[in-house]
Amino acid sequence: MFCNSLKIRLIPLLFITLQSKAQKKTLYEHTASDVVTISSRVLNEDRKVYIHYPKVDSANLNKRFPVLYLMDGESHFDMLSQYVDYLSRWDVNVIPEMIVVGITNTKRTRDLTPTQSIINYFGQPDTATVSWMKPSGGGEQFLRFIKEELMPYVELNYKTQGFNIFAGHSFGGIASIYCMLTHPEMFNAYIALSPSLWWDKEYVLKLTDKNLVKASVLNKKIFYSDASEGVADSSSYHTNLLKFDTLLTKKELKGLEYKYKYYPVETHMTVPIVAYYDALRFIYKDWENSAKKP
């Protein structure tokens, strides 16, 4: 009797388990993800990279896709991949399908900062023997890795179309802006969430004023944002981003599309959830799918 009762309870459980597996199997029906390791001669280390991409469409074998290169891949890759899949889905259809490349960190402060500095976001020197601010200033090498090793790998192995987006949060935010200022040929659009413009006595903010010549041509798109940071405390996140926004307005750059958005109810660590969505909608605000919509 106990055996029969157990069977009765197990059969529905088995059905639910099998049903769940079947549902999970179809979740990524049209997309796939790879984990690759690139042995970088530029950085002298192995770098793990996550790559999410649309599967080959038998009806259009030559279809190609824009690429979103994402810093802090271990933190935001899954979220961005889900956003891209949903927003490009046939019944949503507000952005194109795209490839998401998540670059994971080994030494984050080193790779995402443009200069060596020990001045923290409160303007005080961090003289600790073991400090999160050390080492720093490897931003140029990191961009070389992306340009000379990562991008060629992606372009060789995946169906890219030539439109590239560079996205980052915090240190990744200043890395994105710094790249636009110093290597504008690398990307077509930029996303900078809560950029650490306080870095090295506002180095990137000063570089913005220096490198962007008034009324010059810069055919790029950039979305930048911050949360309730530097408003209730004494850091300069918010005030510096307002300065950056004012600079772009004063420069009157031809061809530059830019948008600033402030999220007062979010924190430094929650803002990527809402801001990455808004950034994608901004970059593709004028996008129209040539395929017939249902």
- Over its length of 294 residues, how does the chain's per-residue pLDDT go in tens digits? 444 544 444 444 443 333 433 333 334 578 999 999 999 999 999 999 999 999 877 778 889 999 999 999 999 999 999 999 999 999 999 999 999 999 999 999 999 999 999 998 888 898 888 888 899 999 999 999 999 999 999 999 999 999 999 999 999 999 999 999 999 999 999 999 999 999 999 999 999 999 999 999 999 999 999 999 876 666 789 999 999 999 999 999 999 999 999 999 999 999 999 999 999 999 999 998 655 443
Q: What pLDDT sits at residue 232?
A: 65
Q: What pLDDT sits at residue 290?
A: 52
pTM of the model: 0.88
Produce one character per residue of 226-262: b if its CB has 16 or more CB atoms within 10 Å, e if not: bbbbbeeeebbbbebbeebeeebeebebeebbbbbee
Gyration radius of the chain over CA positions: 22
Contacts of residue 279, Cβ cutoff 8 Å, sequence gap at least 6: 167, 191, 193, 223, 225
Q: What pLDDT sits at residue 107?
A: 96
- Domains with residue ranges and CATH for the chain: 28-283 (3.40.50.1820)
Q: What pLDDT sits at residue 5?
A: 47
Residue 49, SS3?
strand
Helix, strand, coil abundance in the chain, percent, nearest 5 = 40, 20, 40
CA dist., res. 164 & res. 68, Å (int): 6
Residue 196, SS3?
coil
